[in-house]
């Protein structure tokens, strides 16, 4: 594992333990080059998935992009990190178990929106405003009113 501090290629595992939800292994590592300590997480990857972007580019599925988007949508909301990790893991599993090697980015976005709708309506609206590219306040108002109609404050 490459050190995030000095980019040395070798590190030594000092401690390993399962995460609280048993979906990953947390490893504490020490760099053999600079001695810096850092944490890594090892997760199961069921299959290699390629994402088809809206402009037809293809790139490997990247869990970190979903984590970043979900974290941003949930910023300053009272949702603990463990719940967000479970949400992202669930989204990743859904995508990997579709049985398809290529998945349109639109499907991934809709999956994220569905998951956020279940945990927090504000985070859901935040994500949707970027994902659906609201250009005017009216777009935002119309979307927010549909959230209330389906029973979410």
Spans of all domains in the chain: 7-43, 46-149
Q: Is the pTM of this model over 0.75?
A: no
Element (H, E) at 29: strand 24-31
- The rounded distance, in Å, linking the Cα atoms of 79 and 41 is 21
Segment 61-105, tens digit of pLDDT: 999 999 999 999 999 999 998 899 999 989 998 998 888 899 999
Segment 94-119, tens digit of pLDDT: 998 888 899 999 999 999 999 999 99
Number of other CB atoms surrounding residue 23 within 10 Å: 17
């Amino acid at each position: 594992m490459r050190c995030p501090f000095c980019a040395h290629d070798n590190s030594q595992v000092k401690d390993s333990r399962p995460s609280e939800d048993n979906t990953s292994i947390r490893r504490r590592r020490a760099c053999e080059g600079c001695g810096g300590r850092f944490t890594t997480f090892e997760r199961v990857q069921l299959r290699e998935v390629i994402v088809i972007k809206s402009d037809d580019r293809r790139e490997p599925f990247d869990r970190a992009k979903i984590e970043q988007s979900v974290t941003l949508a949930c910023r300053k909301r009272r949702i603990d990190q463990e719940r967000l990790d479970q949400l992202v893991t669930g989204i990743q599993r859904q995508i990997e178990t579709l049985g398809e090697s290529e998945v349109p980015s639109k499907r991934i976005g809709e999956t994220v929106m569905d998951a956020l709708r279940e945990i927090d309506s504000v985070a859901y609206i935040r994500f949707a405003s970027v994902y659906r590219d609201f250009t005017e306040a009216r777009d935002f108002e119309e979307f927010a009113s549909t959230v209330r109609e389906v029973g979410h404050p």
